[in-house]
Amino acid sequence: MSTARLEYNGQSWDFPVVEGTENELGVDISELRAKSGLITLDEGYGNTGSCKSAITYIDGDKGILRYRGYPIEQIAEQSSFVESAWLVIYGELPNEKQRERFSALLTKHAMIHESMRNHFQGFPNNAPPMAILSAMINAIGCFSPEVLGSDTEANFEENAARLLSQVRSIAAATYKMSMGQPMMYPRPDFKYCENFLHMMFSVPNGRITPDPDAARALNQFLTLHADHEQNCSTSTVRMVASSGANMYASVSAGVSALWGPLHGGANVAVVNMLEEIRSSGMDPHVYMEKIKDKNSKLKLMGFGHRVYRNFDPRSRILQKAAEVILSKLKIQDPLLEIARRLEEVALRDSYFVDRKLYPNVDFYSGIILRAIGIPLDMFTVMFAIGRMPGWIANYKEIHDAERLKINRPRQIYTGAAIRDFVPRDARVQ
């Protein structure tokens, strides 16, 4: 086993170097503090491996993404969201029996508890859908106390299927509530994505037949979002799960983490940015100059990534998928053209080239969602539906670990040194 040596103050310590499947290396510093009294400081965790995980592999320099060893390009082309969810959660592609069993569980759990309607009605019509989603995921747990917290394999499967199935029912119900329309019940004869489109766009006196092209595009969108190793929301899920919290509580926290515009909220920010350029008639070059001006504090949304210093492979697939769905549905979206032009400018501009900033998953995904009729304020919810398998799989890794170890980082304290308490009447007013 190779080791790495740390020297400080005339002393030195050796630490084991661990190697992953793809030869990526990490220094195991779990005994650093015990041996040396030191800790590491890595704000934003850019150099910190928080866990060992067997779910997803990313090589950010080469633009590689694999779920359980399978290249994302092959999965996006040949698999479905439900199948890739099984793969991400359980580690292997399902056989026929497993597929049927899982599909049956998804159908069984598609309907949310009838009492949850009251919860929906308690929110104002303009409540942010991500806030509702996070709250409702915790609420589902309350309606399944028999499986909450118990850790048999069958219960895990029930919980996983319930979450995966109901996240889409909650999303659709949230939309219906915002529209003042009755919530639609799921249909057992529809597949996962068709059923979602039905629950979103059918009304009791006008049922839609989900468009197969829209369902296919949605399937691909969700599949491409299924997991992305230790991103902000997944790390949050693992953090919460490490305290022994149940799957619903852990995943609900992940939804909150995803909400931010630097993470899942970026898909909304991209469309707002493209809309702003379109409505102002601004030349994309001019917009880029504004971004490069550090005083503007603007970012090219949908560009850059903590891990990818090359193309995000998902963005290439989504760009093609956006073109396909627009052409199939015979939609002309001016935002696609603006996005293409921004990308062209960025890929030639030294600001972006030097910083290795390329389009990420959010750059083209919004164009697909718009094409299939998803309203802008639901975009991040769509990301959350897609990311559900990854959150569940990461929860499972924590849950199945031989020893549950709470995640508890340390800090370097930079506050005031010890001082005496000042009584109220002696304080500077």
Q: CB-hemisphere CA count at 13 Å for 332?
A: 1
User: Which residue in the set 305, 313, 371, 395 belongs to the binding site for ligand CMC (CB under 6 A)?
Assistant: 305
H/E stretch holding 16? strand 11-19
* Rg (the chain; Cα; Å): 23
Taking CB under 6 A as the criterion, the residue among 94, 141, 254, 264 binding ligand CMC is: 264
Per CB under 6 A, does 313 bind ligand CMC?
Answer: no
By CB under 6 A, residue 309 contacts ligand CMC: no
Q: Which of 211, 227, 312, 362 is catalytic?
A: 362
| Contact stretch for ligand CMC (CB under 6 A) within 70-78, 111-119, 262-270, 372-380 | 262-270
Cβ proximity to ligand CMC: between 218 and 346 the closer is: 346
The torsion angles phi and psi of 22, rounded to 5 degrees, stand at -100, 25
DSSP string, 147-186: TTT---HHHHHHHHHHHHHHHHHHHHHHHHHHHT-PPPPP
Q: Which of 129, 254, 304, 386 binds ligand CMC (CB under 6 A)?
A: 304
Asked if 355 touches ligand CMC (CB under 6 A), the answer is yes
Of the candidate spans 77-85, 202-210, 246-254, 299-307, the one that interacts with ligand CMC by CB under 6 A turns out to be 299-307
Residue 70 φ/ψ, nearest 5 degrees? -90, 130
Residue with tokens 């170890």: 405
> Which region among 11-19, 276-284, 297-305, 394-402 touches ligand CMC (by CB under 6 A)?
297-305
Is residue 362 at the binding interface for ligand CMC, with CB under 6 A as the rule? yes
User: Is residue 305 annotated as part of the catalytic site, yes or no?
Assistant: yes
**Identity (one letter) of the amino acid at 210?**
P
3-class DSSP string for 18-73: EECCCCCEEECCCCHHHHHCCCCCCHHHCCCCCCCCCCEEEECCCCEEEECCEEHH
* Window 169-208: contact mask with ligand CMC (x via CB under 6 A): ----------------------------------------
* Beta carbon of residue 316, minimum distance to ligand CMC (angstroms, whole number): 14
Taking the C-alpha atoms of residue 416 and residue 419, their distance in angstroms, rounded to an integer, is 8
Q: Binding residue for ligand CMC (CB under 6 A) from 215, 357, 367, 398?
A: 357
Residue 235 binding ligand CMC, by CB under 6 A: no
The closest of 131, 138, 391, 136 to 249, measured between CA atoms, is 138
Residue 356: CB minimum distance to ligand CMC, A: 8
With 0-12 / 13-18 / 19 or more C-beta atoms within 10 angstroms meaning exposed / middle / buried, residue 397 is: middle
Query: Active-site residue 362, yes or no?
Result: yes
Q: Is 88 in the site for ligand CMC (CB under 6 A)?
A: no
Catalytic residue among 305, 312, 333, 349: 305
Residue 210 or 264: which CB sits closer to ligand CMC?
264
The reply on whether position 302 binds ligand CMC by CB under 6 A is yes
Sequence-distant (≥ 6) Cβ neighbours of residue 81 within 8 angstroms: 192, 193, 219, 222, 223, 226, 386
Of the pair 43, 153, the CB lying nearest ligand CMC is at 43
Spatial separation of the C-alpha atoms in residues 333 and 382, rounded to whole Å: 20
Based on the shown chain and the rule CB under 6 A, indicate whether residue 388 belongs to the binding site for ligand CMC: no
User: Which stretches of the chain bind ligand CMC, using CB under 6 A?
Assistant: 231, 262-264, 266, 291, 299-306, 355, 357, 360-362
Provide the annotated active-site residues: 305, 362
